[in-house]
Amino acid sequence: MKKQPGSRHCFVCGRQNPFGLKLDFYEDAELGQVVSQFLVPETYQGYPGVVHGGIVAAILDEVSGRAVLMGGSDDNLMATLRLTVRYRQPTPAETQLTAVGWVERDGGVGVRVAGEIRLPDGTVTAECQALIADVPEGFRANWESEKSYWKVYD
């Protein structure tokens, strides 16, 4: 599977963020999905032994949004307009997890993407649907100073 790049300070994928999750993302072209396998340390728990819901939402936002990068340009960055998360059961900390994201519909206003977090046995702990769209040019111009720090690999 092709590894997608990370960035410098992103909370989810940033390689140099001392407080970040440092997740790696891979493209499964056969299934049309972006996949990440990871463990969330108890530092990011809400209730004892359970990953905080905000952290779960951040992971789902990242994995689903990265689906638009598959088979295209790594510069095709988009921003989330709407994110709906359904928490199906507690997501355990200190447990091997898998996040999966995919494109549901491309066209109209933005791109509709979706994602899931799964336990080792495949049970879904949380899922999302999101609407993402191109970033306005003025906003994108502010990213120029960080551009050399995008596409960071270990």
96-142 pLDDT, tens per residue? 999 999 999 988 789 999 999 999 999 999 999 999 998 877 777 77
Q: Which residues contact 8 (CB under 8 A, 6 or more apart)?
A: 14, 15, 16, 17, 146, 149, 150, 152
- The answer to whether the CB of 69 falls within 8 A of the CB of 63 is no
- Give pLDDT tens digits for 51-81: 999 999 999 999 999 999 987 766 677 899 9
Q: What is the rounded distance in angstroms from the CA atom of residue 137 to the CA atom of residue 151?
A: 20
pTM here is 0.92
Q: Is 109 exposed, middle or buried (0-12, 13-18, 19+ CB in 10 A)?
A: exposed
Q: Is 110 left (phi over 0), alpha (psi -120 to 50) or beta?
A: left
The pLDDT, as a whole number, for residue 133 is 93
Find out whether 69 and 132 touch, Cβ atoms under 8 Å: no
What the block records as the tokens of 8 is: 């410098």
Taking the C-alpha atoms of residue 1 and residue 142, their distance in angstroms, rounded to an integer, is 32
Higher pLDDT, 27 or 73: 27
**C-alpha span between 47 and 3 (Å, rounded):** 33
